[in-house]
Amino acid sequence: MLAHELIAKTFPFLKSDEIARLLQICEQNGSLYYFPQEKELLGYYRFFPELIYAVADQDYDTLLKCDLTEGPLLYVAVLITQKNGLRMVSTIVKTLRARAYAFHRYRQDEWEFHFVKNNRYLAQTGLNYASQQ
């Protein structure tokens, strides 16, 4: 099963072109991990605060033009796992030392954008997150 097929099966409300563009963004920024045997998929990208509205609005045209390999913020574009997904996201946030992470959740026929501050940022880096706002 290909990554595209796995996403389509897991999230049937997504259109094929949305899936393709999402995978393209993650792949061109070197952050797409697919494990076909386990049927698990992780795709994310990093971004700077200036792009928050493009990320929140899922403006793929803008995002495809950007270098999303660096930045203090992390967007979890797709996560399909049999394990504890929150633990996996927490590990990625900690490893990449992201100040915050964001994701979309599909509920009641609409997308909800979630933005979560990394409360452990100070302990991980010694930097005061609040003073850098």
Between the CA of residue 127 and those of 1, 124, 131, what are the distances in Å?
43, 8, 8
- Please give the tally of structural domains in the chain: 1
Task: Residue 9: give the domain boundaries.
Answer: 3-132
String of DSSP letters for 100-121: EEEEEEEETTEEEEEEEE-TTH
| 133 residues of the chain, pLDDT tens digit each | 699 999 999 999 999 999 999 999 999 999 999 999 999 999 999 999 999 999 999 999 999 999 999 999 999 999 999 888 888 888 899 889 899 999 999 888 888 999 999 887 765 555 554 455 4
How do beta strands 40-47 and 100-107 pair?
Answer: unpaired
According to DSSP, the β-strands at 40-47 and 73-80 are: antiparallel
What residues contact 104, with CB distance under 8 A and at least 6 apart?
58, 111, 112, 113, 114
pTM here is 0.85
Cβ-based burial of 12 (10 A; exposed 0-12, middle 13-18, buried ≥19):
exposed
